[in-house]
Amino acid sequence: MTFAELAVVVGVEIAAAGASGAVVRVASIEDATADAVVFAVDAKALAAALASRAGAILVSAKVLVEEAPADARVLTVRDARYAFALAGRALKAGAGTGGVHTSAVIG
């Protein structure tokens, strides 16, 4: 899913200048790559997420982000854990599309 589609799933309106690229999986901050979404519920986790390669970062609104640099990857949500679960469910649902049908004959 695109960054904009992720924003819709988690209930955030974003400016057109938001991050670009596809998000295809959820990940821990330590294992995040550009195609992953992570979450942060406190300042320490936010700092780690901003330093990671994550393509999208869900941040709880209660986290003070005043000192955080502007980052197009950040989506501020009411509850980052819940938004992360929504994102995971949406990504899992989309994972079943495409593929090879069980009746396909190859070769």
Distances (CA, A) of 58 to 9, 37, 45, 85: 12, 7, 11, 11
State the pLDDT at residue 10: 93
What lies within 8 Å, CB to CB, of 39 at 6+ separation is: 45, 49, 57, 58, 59, 60, 80, 81, 83, 84
Structure-block tokens of residue 81? 């854990």
State the pLDDT at residue 85: 95
State the pLDDT at residue 79: 94
Which residue do the tokens 């970062």 mark?
57
10-residue averages of pLDDT along the chain (107 residues): 89 68 93 96 93 94 70 90 95 67 64
State the pLDDT at residue 64: 63
pTM of the model: 0.81
State the pLDDT at residue 104: 63
* Terminal C-alpha separation, the chain: 32
